[in-house]
Structure 1
């Protein structure tokens, strides 16, 4: 069965590079019109849009801060206005460790930053698109968890891990609320995914090699590995799946 998202409007937060870019490109290749979002790096966002258009797809870039409810409203409104309809597929990819910090040194400001970018952004993006999906009686929401939500994460990332665990619990609750309206809510939970700013910033080469050595499939994941799972969840193939998590970690953590 071919995945066909023709006529669907998708919005992927944090899609200027890395996993978000791969997801946006995959959804566009499936036929969806894609809203690309970035916070700061507009040039990268334009590269994502250019890649989609070069392959014959439709995309628009909207720079917006998804930790701000007013900015979320502007983001969604601009994407819907551009494509002439309401969002059918929402992928809450935006998220960040922000900084590795032991709990003994955790500040209220850093705690709030981490919770806002991971949990608040997810909650209020979902809130903004739900009315349009309910009116249609259909919709796909895919949220981003992490292997850290299960194992507490690496050094100095306990609050990040907690925020991702909260995203997982929230998504299950939302899945129950939205099911009667024909809306599915699922999660993808990446493990060690290479070619991303996350590991370029926070992971040493030594830690990278040690981690890969413990992965049964003996390699890092790729952004495209994550995008494939998202594409499945966004499609009719996953129409009877909600409140579930797809673990994308090469076997490093089996549940």
Structure 2
């Protein structure tokens, strides 16, 4: 095993990425498969995750035929209790262990403050917070079984820069839900460290995804959005991939309770210099 593979490789590990068919979930799944993991991805739309799994597996074989990683697709809806139980049962049928859980599935709603609807709170929190919590809770036996002192099981929760800075942009329930995800991540990191499970999060800024397609679905739009980011661009898939492999490989085995701001500096942007 080479030096870099020893620090950042995930060969032989089993992972579940919710919402893994598109956007950041797909970026995470690709990174883990490239790193050698067996990756389960799920979505409410089976055709979407099946297409993604086929594309990632085809690319793996074409570009890295010796790679041990693979991607398998499942239907999964974390927005209901029944959906969480069904997803956990489906994973258990395929694998007796789970080394990595990436709670990526999420939805949003945007509308002006004066007309923001009541139902848009329950649905967003059901998926983004309640589903995340209960799926983690349901899969704790598998994560505990995989966790070791020198090689803990890993959980990554997808937050957002909108959950760490006062940015609403009409997505009030989404922003609040992501702040809850950040805090839950820290709580679970504290409570489950003794079980050899790490809990960390990502707080991404703008990346190209279905959720941000209204603003980033063309190179021109993405460049325009990037001008508002302190580092001058939107995020790239490699930004997600590198952070994922860091947290899930040996290099991240001593990190827990952190929410990594993958946002190009947005979270520290406080306005213009006071004295010019």
Confirm or deny a common fold (TM above 0.5).
yes
Q: Does 1:8 align with 2:13?
A: yes
1:214 equivalent among 228, 253, 275: 228
1:89 corresponds to which residue?
Answer: 100
1:193 corresponds to which residue?
Answer: 207
2:248 corresponds to which residue?
Answer: 234
2:273 corresponds to which residue?
Answer: none
Aligned equivalents of 1:27, 1:207: Cα separation in 2: 29
Aligned equivalents of 2:49, 2:254: Cα separation in 1: 33
Report how far residue 135 of structure 1 moved.
2.8
1:80 equivalent among 89, 92, 106: 92
Please show how residues 1-255 of structure 1 align to structure 2 within 5 Å. 1-2=4-5, 3-40=8-45, 42-54=46-58, 55-56=60-61, 57-82=69-94, 84-97=95-108, 99-137=109-147, 138-194=152-208, 196-201=209-214, 211-254=225-268
RMSD: 2.1
Aligned equivalents of 1:129, 1:159: Cα separation in 2: 26
TM-score, normalised with respect to structure 1: 0.90
Report how far residue 8 of structure 1 moved.
1.0
Aligned equivalents of 2:34, 2:217: Cα separation in 1: 34
Choose 1 or 2 for highest CA Rg: 2
Aligned equivalents of 1:151, 1:185: Cα separation in 2: 21
Mean Cα displacement is larger for which, 223-232 or 160-169? Answer: 223-232
Instruction: Kindly tell me the number of residue pairs found equivalent between the two proteins.
Output: 251
SS state at 2:213 partner: helix
Structure 1 spans left out of the alignment, 5+ residues: none
Report how far residue 60 of structure 1 moved.
1.6
Aligned residues of 2:164 and 2:203 also touching (Cα < 8 A): no
Q: Deviations over 1:111-160 (max 9, x none)?
A: 10111121112101111111112233331000011010122334211221
SS state at 2:52 partner: helix
Aligned residues of 1:6 and 1:32 also touching (Cα < 8 A): yes
SS state at 1:118 partner: helix
Aligned equivalents of 2:54, 2:222: Cα separation in 1: 31
Mean Cα displacement is larger for which, 207-216 or 109-118? Answer: 207-216
Aligned residues of 1:141 and 1:183 also touching (Cα < 8 A): yes
Structure 2 spans left out of the alignment, 5+ residues: 62-68, 270-276
Report how far residue 76 of structure 1 moved.
2.3
